[in-house]
Amino acid sequence: MTSAVIDVAIVGAGPVGTLLAAELARLGVAAAVIEQRAEAGGGSRAVGIHATALAAMEASGATDRLLADALRVRVGEARRRGRTLGEVRFDRLHARHPFVATLPQ
């Protein structure tokens, strides 16, 4: 059995856990991710990557790489039988990236 010294244990390898692990690694902090699922997969729920997530990934350079291929959704609309029921304006966000980024999954 081998042992390693870690500073941080992260429970869960979802988007938050993996981003935290990547950021800690970038900053030189030893972290271990503990995930209950044996395998990755099961379908993506990352339809849209929001402004706060884009900001959180910026220091690592991941945001620039992601935006190189992403579609930038500035307005979301709910429609029924040709009638617009409502809209969400991402372009009014006071954020560096005022849109939702989507990529082929």
Ligand X SMILES: Cc1cc2nc3c(=O)[nH]c(=O)nc-3n(C[C@H](O)[C@H](O)[C@H](O)COP(=O)(O)OP(=O)(O)OC[C@H]3O[C@@H](n4cnc5c(N)ncnc54)[C@H](O)[C@@H]3O)c2cc1C
Cβ closer to ligand X: 83 or 105?
A: 105
Radius of gyration of the chain (CA): 18
The enclosing H or E element of 65 equals: helix 62-69
Output 11 or 30, the one with its CB closest to ligand X. Answer: 11
CA-CA distances (angstroms) from residue 54 to 17, 59, 93?
A: 15, 10, 13
Nearest approach in angstroms of CB 19 to ligand X is 8
- CB closer to ligand X out of 9 and 68: 9
The residues binding ligand X (CB under 6 A) are: 11-17, 34-37, 45-48, 50
Nearest approach in angstroms of CB 91 to ligand X is 17
Min. distance of Cβ 11 from ligand X in angstroms? 5
Q: Which is nearer to ligand X, 40 or 83 (CB)?
A: 40
Alpha-carbon 97 to chain mean position: 13
Residue 32 forms beta bridges with which residues?
Answer: 9
